[in-house]
Amino acid sequence: MAAAAAGLSWRRVSSFTGPVPRSRHGHRAVAIRELVIIFGGGNEGIADELHVYNTVTNQWFLPAVRGDIPPGCAAHGFVCDGTRILVFGGMVEYGRYSNDLYELQASRWLWKKVKPQAPSTGSPPCPRLGHSFSLYGNKCYLFGGLANESEDSNNNVPRYLNDFYELELQHGSGVVGWSIPVTKGILPSPRESHTAIIYCRKDLGSPKMYIFGGMCGCRLNDLWELDIETMTWSRPETKGTVPLPRSLHTANVIGNKMYVFGGWVPQSAGGEISAHDGEWKCTGSFSYLNLDTTEWIGLISDCQEDKSNLLPGPRAGHCAVAVGTRLYIWSGRDGYRKAWNNQVCCKDLWYLDTEKPPAPSQVQLIRATTNSFQVKWDEVPTVEGYLLQLHADSPVPPAAGIPGTGIPETSVLSPQGGSSLRQSSQSLPSVPYPEMKVDHPSQTNNVIPNNVQVSLSSNSLLKVEGKEKVAAPENKITHETMKNHADATGFKESNAPSVLPVCTSSPQTSANVGELHDLDKQTVNPDASVSSTVSSTQTMVTQQAVKTESSSTNGAVVKDETSLTTFNSKSEAAETAYVMPSTRVNSGQTNDSHSSKTPQRPMAPVKARDRQWYDVGIFKNNSAVVSQFYLLPEETLNISNKMESADVPDYRLLKKQDLFPGTVYRFRVAAINGCGVGPFSKISEFKTCIPGFPGAPSTVKITKSVDCIHLSWEPPASPSGNILEYSAYLAIRSTQLQENPSQLVFMRIYCGLKTSCIVTAAQLSNAHVDYTSRPAIVFRISAKNERGYGPATQVRWLQDMKTSSSK
């Protein structure tokens, strides 16, 4: 099969929730992060609903739109700019076309009819359908389409167009007006139902628009290029086999490739270009144009018949949209049956992963115990699971290797309990911390109230958009000298409250770290599970996060009874990505809607230094509680440096090894999609705790008043004895921050037995506002028992720009 030869692995989404839209053709789709938004089209009437499909949760929903709701339309222009969508033209009823322009603010599901200024030279675009409408920067480019020359909508006199317009947008909302650019070169011939995409090479910075195919009485397969900077039209020379003439196909850019799927093509495949009255059929052919080399590559041929239902069937007038590097295709018509005198529309939804997923961020530590880690990593869009591995140093026996007067080594966050701290002589080597960025939400089934929205950033574990907040780890830290006694984090403490410089020498922190918005009352519950989402059929799209349905899996260690597909991982090389053409990861607890295939993972070359990587498991979500890992068979550990072709191991047949206290473990994670296992992340190192120290305080609350804030918390869930005192710290401005902004400096603002304290306006005036992510003031709170201080809870109190600029 051509698809198999090309390494394609299409997935049909076979089950989903929510109100599924009726099948149709002539509709359009765009993507806002993981949401696919579909509008218009027709099948026994023109559809006027706005449908949204969440690609993470496989849920359809109908948002409650308001404002100037447009009439239903088909074969219209539909583009997305951030979280706003523009709709132009299309057929509103048979024979009657539109030239109206509507804007949808998806953050509020608010429609607005906009009236752009007419061009200074010439007339505004006439009503039309089948045109292309493409966005680049703050401008939309309109080309071609089909107009009706007759004023009587029942007497359709078609006129093919090749006019070209530019629409300037205002920032955020609204438009300026139409203009008619002066172009050079020969304009493409008139046409409708063509495609247009815009691509800009990374090394050449000049954006180009590519128009392919369409209909002008006969179907076309010509390719046109417009240099947007010079406004010059040309016909690029191409290599490879040009796809057959077609219309009503789709074209989408992913990376440097333009993927072309489906459409109407000549009935006689490989024959001469048909005349006006030739026979035509729908096709399921699939090709791409390498936009850097202008070479066509055929992936599924026009004559290929797929009787195995492993490929999308032939169709035209469908929609296709790229979500990350994944291509989704939905509905469309599969032919015109004259005997029935109606369109037959497909009802299926398919997707194709076009590339292996990128490496996830480094594994981040949320919490360490004596024999487990709670970890997370940034979500990678459009993946089916994650392979988590660890590398174990020689374990330290639980009752040995801890000198009575020495400083216990640990990766947990220091309590910042004294005037000065010193770094343990045994502290772990520094690992670069990932850069902060706002990313996609993760999923779990507990912790966050159902009215809260959640988003994740790479080194803030949780940002919760709501009244109750759960929070995230900041930077890796060890500290300077503490003089009197050792605590759980390996540092000594003196009596005097003080300023604490923070070094970046231990890999990650096991502090429970939170991020709070500047609201009147806020809560951090660091003892809760790491990730959460919210079920809602009225989900809003925001600039920070797109939140919808939650999943019922919490990313725990893969258990024997789960249906997660597992992979062989015999001593793989850290930097080698695996080839796995047919990877599927199914969670028995989640509504996985795709057909399952048996995975194969040919082994990468084994390197001696990588022979101790062990599988923790494969996880549906981007978090895990790690208390065990799988031991490899002895013969696997003794293999020579060669390619392995062993069968995929069954985890149920492998022995499990528990984690040891006081032991260093290295972690790496790779994402999995339909193309296989991607590259591994950078390596992180964490250490299990020494028994006997208190856990981190939980449920941090901040109550804001006029001249101070009230900080409160709950005692640790595992105090390991009597709590003697708590310490709370505030990150303050310091000259050391100017020299090294990543080294926060903390001042103790409270020490005592109470589980609350007041932070005065004078103290807050000295606070450092951390801009590594969203502006925030940073607090840390830790508990002390007879053995010393345990790990701290870190809270990032989010500030708005006015608040942060006044600090």
- What does 450-500 look like in DSSP terms, one character per residue? TT-EEE-BSSSS-EEESSEE--------EE----S-B-TTS-B--SS--EE
Q: Exposed/middle/buried for 373, CB within 10 Å: 0-12, 13-18, 19+?
A: buried
Residues of the chain with pLDDT under 50: 1-5, 269-275, 277, 339-340, 395-515, 517-610, 637-648, 803-807
pLDDT tens digit string along 523-562? 443 332 222 222 222 333 333 222 222 222 222 222 222 2
Instruction: Output the six-digit token pair for 121.
Output: 């030279």
Instruction: Output the six-digit token pair for 737.
Output: 């921050």
Q: Tell me what pLDDT residue 21 has.
A: 95
B/e letters for 383-406, b = 16+ CB within 10 Å, e = fewer, are bbbbbbbbbbeebbebeeebeeee
Biggest distance spanned by C-alpha atoms of the chain? 96
φ, ψ for residue 83, nearest 5 deg: -115, 20
Q: Tell me what pLDDT residue 741 has.
A: 65
pLDDT tens digit string along 740-789? 666 788 999 999 999 999 999 999 999 999 886 678 899 999 999 999 99
Q: Tell me what pLDDT residue 381 has.
A: 87
Under DSSP, the state recorded for 387 is E
Q: Tell me what pLDDT residue 634 has.
A: 60
Of 437, 438, 441, 439, the residue nearest 539 (C-alpha): 441
Which run of H or of E encompasses 765?
Answer: helix 761-765
Q: What are the domain boundaries of the chain?
A: 364-393+612-641+648-688, 701-798
CATH 2.60.40.10 fits 701-798, yes or no: yes
**Alpha carbon 10 to chain centroid, angstroms:** 20
CA angle, 510 then 511 then 516, to 5°: 140
Which residues lie closer than 8 Å to 119 by C-beta, 6 or more apart? Answer: 165, 177, 178, 179, 180
Q: Tell me what pLDDT residue 687 has.
A: 82
Torsion, Cα of 107, 109, 112, 113 (10° steps):
120
How far apart, in whole angstroms, are the C-alpha atoms of residue 270 and residue 606?
A: 47
The answer to whether domain 364-393+612-641+648-688 and domain 701-798 are alike in fold is yes
Q: Tell me what pLDDT residue 265 has.
A: 93
pTM over 0.85: no
Q: Tell me what pLDDT residue 123 has.
A: 96
How far apart, in whole angstroms, are the C-alpha atoms of residue 487 and residue 365?
A: 20
Q: Tell me what pLDDT residue 595 has.
A: 35
Of 287, 309, 316, the residue nearest 300 (C-alpha): 287
Q: Tell me what pLDDT residue 392 has.
A: 83
- What does 228-292 look like in DSSP terms, one character per residue? TTTTEEE----BSPPPPPBBS-EEEEETTEEEEE--EEESSTTSPPP-TT--EEEB--EEEEETT
First-to-last alpha carbon distance for the chain, in angstroms, is: 64
Q: Tell me what pLDDT residue 678 has.
A: 94
Domain with residues 364-393+612-641+648-688, CATH architecture: Sandwich (2.60)
Instruction: Output the six-digit token pair for 543.
Output: 């600039």
